[in-house]
Structure 1
């Protein structure tokens, strides 16, 4: 709080004020109920009070003074770890709101005679604490180690007094490091340990007794352990060796934190220790028809179990056929039978990995109340999803495409031919619902 704007004598418990600032990221991460230490400028130049966020708005927030304190001075914060290297001190507290790590907050608490922040009786640490337990990402050729683990990223800061913009560079954690940190903190919280792995200062130092407490609880109550999931879609599309880097070794079960052969590594940018907690599960998905599967790093293959998910007609039966009534139930049965026949032929003419998945049909479950809507959606799936995919599969081998879509009656074939040569697929707009059903039945009959 600037003494140019606020009278120090009027800063009291219960005072509520709204603040705004240029560092948008600090306000974006703020939530109601968060605790703030209030710094007062010259001539006070020290932390003067503790406040609580009572309202969060776009680019601003409301705080209520909870307690007046005698906190550390500017010179102390400038001279001592962990505050001296913080963003707040690097720009000499020229701003409105700065986020603090757990270590930084505990350091300030220690300066006002408390061991840790929770002793202020203003925050709660319990087994009910919430963490983001799931992260979803998609790998692609441009995805890197810096996106996945950590990297150096620029951030601009605008001085509220001069308006001058400064460029700051900081180590920013990636999705894997973030969820590993959350999983580790949840694990410690579950084991009744109040220490925390912070983004800035890394993993806390645990005593041998604390390590044994975590290990014992994992062994005796593994079913209640909080579980975290990192879901990586299209995992085979990224450069695995580049993205995981040295962390590929840490994925092994016995090398996880608190396991028999616990292994830690030092990260290249932050120079902090890193390990993978045992309650973090990594699920990678890939399409069996992708040509790049064969290129998956062997080191990655050894560290994952593979579960093959082929077309599941039981799902279609449960979600579509059994939920349909009357004529729609019959039509749904024809649709599923046609898909089975089609996949059988694809397996014979190409391979089993290029079968059409049951997910193509799942949108049909939203059209079970109208026969016209059901057939309209089914036609769309066949003419705009399935047939173009088959055309891609058999682009250079039209005889195999003909074998996959063969029917006894050429008039009921999906293929459009001229003088015995395939010229494309028949125009969907020229095919009514009745003929479309007959075409599916002809495909089934062969």
Structure 2
């Protein structure tokens, strides 16, 4: 069934309204949980994406790890296509990913004897969408900034713009093609990846970017759903706000709320540090070990008695509490 887009003004939405907060977890959802229910076309996250896709060549969900970027892109794609997997293509960029993988190249013939031309993911999706103009097709690009995005798109980069959709152009092989209007592009990226400057330059005017930031509100709902008891819950929120305030000057140290999605007791909370956060933060503060030591001390303070935690709004904390 064709999707009707709206021209109504977009409104600002918080993490929970967008479905990336913890209320989504009530139905057992995460980007690595394929069994989770899809969101409806009426969901604010889908409405936001459709509004932006009317005006831009694509949408990039941008934020640090653990903020729900991949979840958002996947759920929007499923909603737009009525969960018809034949109309969605998922690809992941990486340093070895090339034009030949995404657009068009040559691959060895099955029984030897040379090479044959081969269409990449993007060309295949363009051709499929052009044959079915009454339906929306979606290509989801994970880790957009991990590859050389402008080189990978090649000639097509100009023609993903809304004003140039449907116009013919030639691939490097000389083959004619166009980017149909009903092919929608969703992407995710970490703003600290090495290729972000190139992505910003190439895609800044063509794509809309949606900031996916660490959310205290989402964390609190995760905690509530999992039943993490006080004082651990209270102390964790204070640590989360502390470490992300520090990340304003050290962006690589940002900690997403999804890291704490399944934390329900002291053991599972300690595991988050031992097997994930410790390594993230050590790397972020590699040149500033005293900063890491301060954060480590704040983390250990989570597990102190509740009497050590002052009843005050989040802000600069005394050395004895988180």
TM-score by length of 2: 0.63
289 and 363 in structure 1: CA distance in 2 versus 1, 3 angstrom threshold: farther
CA distance in 2: counterparts of 1:384 and 1:439, whole angstroms: 24
Q: Distance in 1 between matches of 2:162 and 2:95?
A: 28
Q: Does 1:303 align with 2:202?
A: no
**CA deviation map 1:341-379 (0-9, x unaligned):** 2212332xx335641111211233xxx4xxxxx322211
Q: Secondary structure of 2:242's partner? A: helix
Aligned partners of 2:197, 2:286: CA distance in 1, in Å? 22
Q: Which residue of the other structure, out of 304, 317, 320, is the alignment partner of 1:438? A: 304
Q: Report the Cα offset of residue 330 of structure 1.
A: 5.4
What is the deviation of 1:268?
2.5
The equivalent position to 1:281 in structure 2, one of 177, 184, 194, is: 184
> How far is the alpha carbon of 1:233 from its aligned partner?
1.3
SS in 2 for 1:328: coil
CA distance in 2, matches of 1:145, 1:284: 17
**Does structure 1 residue 342 correspond to structure 2 residue 233?**
no
Question: Relative contact order (C-alpha < 8 Å, sep 6+): which is higher?
Answer: 2
**Moved segments of 4+, more than 6 Å:** 439-444
- Measured in 2, the distance between the counterparts of 1:341 and 1:266 equals 52
The answer to whether the 8 Å contact 1:321/1:333 transfers is: no
Normalized per residue, the structure richer in strand is 1
Gaps of 5+ in 1: 1-127, 158-165, 191-225, 258-262, 369-373, 408-412, 415-434
What SS class does the counterpart of residue 306 from structure 1 fall into?
Answer: strand
Note if contact 1:184-1:277 (Cα within 8 Å) is conserved in structure 2: yes
Instruction: Name which of 331, 335, 338 aligns with 2:232.
Output: 331
CA distance in 1, matches of 2:200, 2:279: 31
The within-5 A match list for 1:55-94 is: none
Match of 1:321 in 2: 223
TM-superposed deviation, 1:404: 3.7
Query: Structure 1 residues 186, 242: CA separation in 2 closer, same or farther (over 3 Å shift)?
Result: same
Mapped pair 1:387 → 2:272: no
Distance 1:154 1:355 in 2: 44
Aligned pairs for 1:147-226 within 5 A: 147-157=101-111, 166-187=112-133, 190=134, 226=135
Q: Deviation of residue 405 (structure 1)?
A: 4.3
For 1:404-443, what aligned pairs fall within 5 Å after superposition?
A: 404-406=295-297, 414=300, 437-438=303-304
Matching residue of 2:266:
375
**Deviations 1:134-176, CA, capped at 9 Å, x for gaps:** 111111121111100111111223xxxxxxxx52532111011
How many residues of Structure 1 are paired with residues of Structure 2 in the alignment? 230
Preserved CA contact (<8 Å) 2:146 2:193 = no
Task: Determine the structure 1 residue equivalent to 2:90.
Answer: 136
Out of 346, 356, 359, the position equivalent to 2:255 is 356
Q: Structure 2: where are the runs of 5+ without partners?
A: 1-81, 310-316
1:233 pairs with 2:142: yes
Task: Determine the C-alpha separation between the residues in 1 that align with 2:189 and 2:85.
Answer: 27
**What SS class does the counterpart of residue 438 from structure 1 fall into?**
coil
Q: What RMSD over aligned residues (CA atoms) do the two structures have, in Å?
A: 2.8
TM value normalised by structure 1: 0.47
